[in-house]
Chain A
Amino acid sequence: MSQKFSSLRISLPLALLFGFFIAATVVAAESDPWLRPEVAPAPPENQLTPARVLLGQMLFFDPRLSRKATMSCASCHNPSLGWSDGLPTAVGFDMHTLARATPTIVNTSFNPIQMWDGRKSTLEDQATGPIEAAGEMNLPLPELIERLKGIPGYASKFEDAYPGMGITAVTVARGLASFERTVLSTESPFDRWRKGEENAVSASAKNGFELFQDKAKCAVCHMGYNFTDNGFHNIGVKDEGAPDVGRYAQRPLKSMHGAFKTPTLRDIGRTAPYMRNGSYKSLMAVVEHYDRGGDDKQNLDINMVPLKLTASEKADLVAFLESLTGVPPDVRVPALPL
């Protein structure tokens, strides 16, 4: 017995120490502003349930949500291509090329404002926008609802997800938003490094992160775990044709002319080409753009200045950016209701 007490006396402090270490690690991870919360926020009226996510997943991959039943949300937000499309700018209704790049929807559920120009605030608000946009899926919502009501297999899916609410524009939007809340970045080498795995990223990437926050000024806009300030900036990207006014269409203020929402950098290794018009094929080209202080100097954001980075510093920044990409998750494409 005394021997048992003796082992207890040794193991208890060790256990407490170990417990303290684990707790400290968890707290550090939770309070690290560069680490993503585990779960995306959802409004009280649309809390996540498996039935809602399943419904949203079916709607997301269903081409019948477009006028000619040829385009689904996933046509542009393709999980095989970082939830974007790999194109400089999106291709919409009848193969019409649009003016802006398809933004990834990875982690968009954390953003309080949606779309390149911020014209939608919530995921629910955003979800049906591309469906009815004439240049995109081009299906007016009343027609969409009638079409979905004519597909027998959808009735039970909507009932399971939103009992008693029926098939409406509201339940379509809520279902799609629920699925989008599950589209999250996976653990990247950067995350593992922040959690204490020293060798998860290279020395070059670590230096790149320092530059990102300091000399290169990237974190002025790409801040926090989702690497965005959810703000609007004119970073001097050139347009081939008529200039895209961006946020100015929503907020007619001088500083918003040519300003666009700061995109996330999560999984950036999978979302080339880059910028709101797909101007650059590589991350190095993006870094060069910022190093020049932008190209179109009209109405440039006052944070944009030439950076005078060395070749080595540019390489470090690219190494850091590449460390933000995790292993792509396996995405199940659901059998659609008939």
Chain B
Amino acid sequence: MTPRSYSAIRLSLMAVVVTLAMPAFAGDQVVSQAKKAFTVGVLKAKVGDTITFRNDDEFAHNVFSLSDVQSFDLGSYKKGEVRTVKLTAPGTIEVECAIHPEMKMKIEVAK
């Protein structure tokens, strides 16, 4: 393997590492619902970003927010299904599962 190949691999690995370290401000983020919990406690995002919620539990979940910043009700859905919301305003959005009120998270939306 030539030094150039090594450099290419290093660059690729760096790109992967940078990508993995960037979820805080990526345009489309996925939040899993597993073991009756959101896998993220506080998510950082920007106005215009899309958040996808994926149900990885064996039973149904739900996603809603009644926050002043942005309210939405994505309804209830089964294992493997997803629901998506586009963030429209800056501020902190409190998100819950209506079925399981112990499941809570926040989305901090920057301009």
Contacts and interface: CB of A to CB of B under 8 A. Distances in A.
The answer to whether A and B assemble together is yes
B73 A253 contact: yes
Mostly, the A contact residues are loop
A251 interface: yes
Given A229-B36, A301-B60, A302-B60, A255 B101 contact: no
Interface stretch (A7-15, A230-238, A263-271, A314-322): A230-238
A253 B66 CA distance: 9
Contacts of A233: 99
A251 B98 contact: yes
Interface string B45-86: 000000000000011101010100000010111100000000
Interface residues of B, number: 17
Interface residues of A, number: 21
Nearest to A233: B99
A254 B75 contact: yes
B58 to A, nearest CB: 7
A220 interface: yes
B60 A118 contact: no
A221 B57 CA distance: 12
Interface of A: 112-113, 118, 220-221, 229-233, 247, 251-256, 259, 301-303
14 contacts: A112-B102, A113-B101, A113-B102, A118-B101, A220-B59, A221-B59, A233-B99, A251-B66, A252-B66, A255-B62, A255-B75, A255-B76, A301-B76, A301-B99
Closest 7 CB pairs of A and B: A220-B59, A231-B100, A231-B99, A255-B76, A302-B60, A253-B73, A253-B98
Interface of B: 36, 58-60, 62, 64, 66, 73, 75-78, 98-102
